Amino acid sequence: MESRAIPLSMTDLVEQEENLSLSPLWTDIDWNRDGRQDTFLNLEHSVHRSAYGIVPIPVSLFKNGSGPTLLLMAGSHGDEYEGQAILTRLIQSLDADAVSGRIIVLPAVNLPAAMEGSRVSPLDGGNLNRCFGDTFSDNPTSRIADYIANTILPMCDVFFDFHSGGSSLEYVPCTYANVSGDPSKAARTLEALEFMNAPIAWVHQGIPQGPEAGRAAYRSGVVYLSGEFGGGGRVSMQATRVAERAIYRLMSHLKILPLANEWKDESESRLMRASPQHYFYADRDGIFEPAAALGDEVAKGDLSGTILNPETPAQPGTKVLFPASGTWICGRAIGRVRRGDCLGHLLADVSRDEILAAE
Ligand SMILES: [Zn+2]
């Protein structure tokens, strides 16, 4: 006679029901199982040509024993490639047995945007990193944000979110952190940022107010680290190197993975911050011809460049002056500009003591 299964409890039935039902975003991953899993977050996308279609967003999980949980995410903006490349290679090379804790990797989180090489999703025009506000809309991009904010981040201790200047901006590669929350969390965030030892570490203080991923991390009490690793619509070897070094040093700092010799050498690192006065914009259409280079130290009132109009060549150009003193960290990567386009921004040095005193 066949043995009969023990009847399922109501809790089991409810869980099974949840697993089987097609919610707008579902996965077969077991977040608590040791070892590696390479699978997908399946985002429902029902359209004329595919009534029951899904967008399979890749996710890999590496878990071994107890320890912190780190979320590594790239492709929030599809035209920011450095993080997507690094995390793709990391998935291929990481050994789950070498990990102490849990690493969740989303190498192309806004998959439709990543496959299009576009900042925003071709499905709904959604900018994923502007969908993490306190409420979530019912569209594909917001559903991804909702899942990260309300399912993944509550499992995490630290979140590393890879960005760059994308197609329209270019950055001197730098790491970034939201140093906010209670004093111990602020100190832990700053320690992690400093250990990553990037040439420039950009500190943002205060509670994140915008609908960006850092705000969702703040709501969940998760340390938020990021970086602007290049841009200009291409992949820079130098920027990729800075980003990769930062991630392996972070994993070592968190005691998730031992530090390989390749990443051990310390180098000079500057803590810096931005204020709204550091950003400058085009006040007319034309071609912006820079008069300085990214990475230059500049003074308030120095010439950043001139907006020229070849369509009316006899008309004098418009000089654009730097609005503050600092390091020119980010510049526009496209020559043609329209009134309102951001031409770039500066960062200014800040000391560790100044940062901690402000908390
Ligand atoms: Zn971005």
What CATH number is given to the structural domain containing 338?
2.40.50.100
Of 272, 291, 313, the position where a domain reaches its end is 272
Residue 18 lies in a domain: no
- Residues 253 and 140 occupy one common structural domain: yes
SS3 content of the chain, % helix, strand, coil (to 5): 30, 30, 40
Residues 263 and 313 in one domain: no
Within this chain, do residues 267 and 326 fall inside the same structural domain, yes or no?
no
pLDDT < 70: residue spans in the chain: 1-23, 359
Interval between CA 109 and ligand 1 midpoint (Å): 12
How far apart are the CA of 328 and the centre of ligand 1, in A? 19
**pLDDT tens readout for residues 60-72:** 999 999 999 999 9
Measured in angstroms, how far is the CA atom of residue 76 from the centroid of ligand 1?
6
For ligand 1, the distance from its centroid to the CA atom of residue 164, given in whole angstroms, is: 5
Q: Do 316 and 332 have their domain in common? A: yes
| One domain, residues 201 and 72 | yes
User: If you write DSSP's letter for every residue of 224-287 in order, what string do you get?
Assistant: EEEEE--BTTS--HHHHHHHHHHHHHHHHHTTSSPPPGGG------EEEE--GGGEEE-SSSEE
Q: If you measure from the C-alpha of residue 333 to the centroid of ligand 1, how many angstroms do you get, rounded to a whole number?
A: 14
Q: What DSSP assignment string belongs to 297-340?
A: EE-TT-EEEEEE-TTSTTSPPEEEE-SSSEEEEEEESSSEE-TT
In this structure, the answer to whether residues 197 and 304 fall within a common structural domain is no
Q: Is 142 helix (H, G, I), strand (E, B) or coil?
A: helix
Mark whether 183 and 280 lie in a shared domain. no
- The predicted structure's pLDDT at residue 5: 43
How many domains are there within the chain?
2
Count the helices and strands in the chain (H runs, E runs). Answer: 8, 19
Domain identity same for 230 and 342: no
Provide φ and ψ at 90, rounded to 5°.
-60, -40
CA proximity to 145, closest of 32, 17, 41 = 41
User: 148 CA to middle of ligand 1, Å?
Assistant: 16
With a CB cutoff of 8 Å and minimum separation 6, the contacts of 146 are 25, 136
Nearest one of 95, 251, 223 to 153, comparing CA atoms: 223
How close is the Cα of 74 to the center of ligand 1, in Å? 9
Distance 146 CA to ligand 1 centre (A): 18
80 CA from centroid of ligand 1 (Å): 6
| Structure tokens, 3 | 């043995």
CB 190 within 8 A of CB 355: yes
Same domain, 252 and 295: no
> What is the pLDDT, as a whole number, of residue 356?
83
CATH number (domain holding residue 168)? 3.40.630.10
104 C-alpha to ligand 1 centroid (Å): 19
CA angle 223-224-230, nearest 5°? 150
Identify the domain containing residue 71 by its residue range: 25-272
> Ligand 1 centroid to 115 CA: how many Å?
15
CA proximity to 72, closest of 151, 130, 133, 148: 148
- Ligand 1 center from residue 128 Cα (angstroms): 9
Position 183 in a domain: yes
Which pLDDT does position 359 carry in this prediction? Answer: 67
Integer CA distances (angstroms), 324 to 151, 171, 228, 327, in order: 42, 18, 21, 10
The 10s digit of each residue's pLDDT in 236-272 is 999 999 999 999 999 999 999 999 999 999 999 999 9
> Are 266 and 280 in a shared domain?
no
| Distance from Cα 43 to the centre of ligand 1, integer Å | 21
Say yes or no: 281 and 266 in one domain.
Answer: no
CA 154 to ligand 1 centroid distance, Å: 22
DSSP 64-116: ESSS-EEEEE--SSTT--HHHHHHHHHHHH--GGG-SEEEEEETTSSHHHHHH
86: closest CA among 220, 224, 251, 216? 251
> Beta partners for 139?
none
Interval between CA 117 and ligand 1 midpoint (Å):
12
14 in a domain, yes or no? no
The alpha carbon of residue 30 and the mean position of all alpha carbons in its chain are separated, in whole angstroms, by: 24
Residues 96, 115, single domain; the answer is: yes
What distance in Å separates the CA atoms of residue 331 and residue 231, rounded to the nearest whole number?
A: 10
Distance 77 CA to ligand 1 centre (A): 5
Q: How many CB atoms lie within 10 A of CB 284?
A: 13
Task: Please indicate, yes or no, if residue 260 is contained in any of the structural domains.
Answer: yes
75 CA from centroid of ligand 1 (Å): 8
Cβ atoms < 10 Å from Cβ of 39: 15
Q: Which residues pair with 287 in a beta bridge?
A: 308, 336
Q: For residue 163, how far is its CA from the centre of ligand 1 (angstroms)?
A: 4
Distance 254 CA to ligand 1 centre (A): 24
Q: How far is the CA of 73 from the centre of ligand 1 (A)?
A: 11
Read off φ and ψ for residue 123, nearest 5 degrees. Answer: -75, -40
The residue to which tokens 């990481």 are assigned: 94
Domain boundary among 230, 253, 272: 272
For residue 13, how far is its CA from the centre of ligand 1 (angstroms)?
Answer: 41
Instruction: Say how far apart CA 145 and CA 168 lie, in whole Å.
Output: 23
